[in-house]
Amino acid sequence: MKVVILGAGVIGVTSAWYLARAGHEVVVVDRRDGPALETSFANAGEISPGYASPWAAPGIPAKALRWLFMRHAPLIVRPGFDPAMMRWLVAMLGNCTARAYRVNKGRMVRLAEFSRDRLIELRRETGIRYDERSQGTLQLFRREKDLAGVTKDIEVLKADGVPFELLDAAGCIAAEPGLANSASPIAGGLRLPNDETGDCFKFTTALAELARTEGVRFLLNRRIEAIEASGGRIIHVRTDRGDIKGDAYLAALGSHSPLLLSPLGIRLPVYPVKGYSITVPIIDPARAPVSTLLDESFKVAITRLGDRIRVGGMAEISGYSNDLPPARRATLDHCVGSLFPDAGDLSRASFWSGLRPMTPDGTPVIGTTRYSNLFLNTGHGTLGWTMACGSGHVIADIIGGKRPAIETADLAIDRYRS
């Protein structure tokens, strides 16, 4: 079967890999001149099934109100007149109940753990390198009162069987020795030893190369203008450089997925939630993080990627803009500068923004559509890197008519019908 994949981010490329391995002819189409040049380019690098949970949670509406007025705020809302934004916000608020949180988290953890295992398997099988590290993640609490709130998280981790270590300040410094120089007080931390880190861009470009050797063709610098259907099937994809035909089509267009799907009558509740990162060259490795640290006060992740530190986070609801306001960079500089002073050269850091393809329930949309040969693998929000290999693996099974190794019925778009 010839499968046309729309989008060469980490989701499109992992899908291409598993489809090619299953024996299909695969073509990947993207408007950029290489893979992973949009949201998959400079994310925070965490592969964190342990922290896989939806942003929509009980207590979030009250917290969100507080965040809106903070200096170095983790959440920024720039409301314009955008009905899609309003619909998405209302749907997200509707998911902030204890029941919805449990259901959504269960789906996310299932996929994220399956995905981590597929990534380990892929590494073993191919030897792929991407500044990877398997040294866990540390959620750091600067204030005692934040640490007090960790009891609830621990209950969830215990219920899910996720190994964890609750650390005092000395324990945090033992896990991340660079914190000995922190200019900020440290109350304690929660360490998840099974989480991993790595550079999503390096991974995606390396996997794309491996996929090429399996026969996958990349049609780059092609803007997809429409997905054309007739009689309940997709007949081709129209691009600015001609039509592309296949037997099956997979939409993996990240935040842009709803724009191309809505003319087909597919209402995908994905909205861009913008985040920012800086990538800082390390000047003193002894002062730098060894793995990923999640700064709970600012909801910012600080990750070691080879000879660089990636600092990423923040959630800005402002539509499809990729602009780079200096105030956001100041927040990221402040986080890394206060916890790991003089570890990196902030004056040489590169500043980036990306649009997380977020669903209101935090879970991606993976599966079939009402068009018999159109499939979806999108809406991975905050955890696309964490969930990529698992998502690629299950969609390859679904397209190939095989039963996926994990339950996937509740990941399909149909879940929004009720």
List contacts with ligand FAD (CB under 6 A): 7-12, 30-32, 36-40, 43-46, 223-224, 252-254, 256, 275-277, 301, 312, 354, 356-357, 378, 380-386
Q: How far is the CB of 112 from ligand FAD (least distance, A)?
A: 8
With respect to ligand FAD, which residue has the nearer C-beta, 38 or 176?
38
With respect to ligand FAD, which residue has the nearer C-beta, 142 or 328?
328
Q: Is 144 helix (H, G, I), strand (E, B) or coil?
A: helix
Q: How far is the CB of 291 from ligand FAD (least distance, A)?
A: 12
Q: How far is the CB of 387 from ligand FAD (least distance, A)?
A: 7
With respect to ligand FAD, which residue has the nearer C-beta, 187 or 270?
270
* Tokens at 265, concatenated: 């009558």
Q: How far is the CB of 353 from ligand FAD (least distance, A)?
A: 7
Q: Is-contact 292 137, C-beta < 8 A?
A: yes
> Which residues are CB-neighbours of 372 under 8 A, at least 6 positions away?
232, 233
Q: How far is the CB of 393 from ligand FAD (least distance, A)?
A: 15
Residue 281's DSSP bridge partners are 308
With respect to ligand FAD, which residue has the nearer C-beta, 43 or 139?
43
With respect to ligand FAD, which residue has the nearer C-beta, 337 or 364?
364
> Which residues are CB-neighbours of 320 under 8 A, at least 6 positions away?
255, 272, 355
CA angle (217 as vertex; 215, 222 as ends), nearest 5: 175
Residue among 41, 120, 39, 47 at smallest CA distance from 294:
47
Q: How far is the CB of 271 from ligand FAD (least distance, A)?
A: 13
Q: How far, CA to CA in Å, does 414 sit from each of 56, 248, 267, 417?
A: 20, 19, 10, 5
With respect to ligand FAD, which residue has the nearer C-beta, 45 or 188?
45
What burial class does residue 138 get, using C-beta atoms within 10 Å of its C-beta: 0-12 exposed, 13-18 middle, 19+ buried? buried
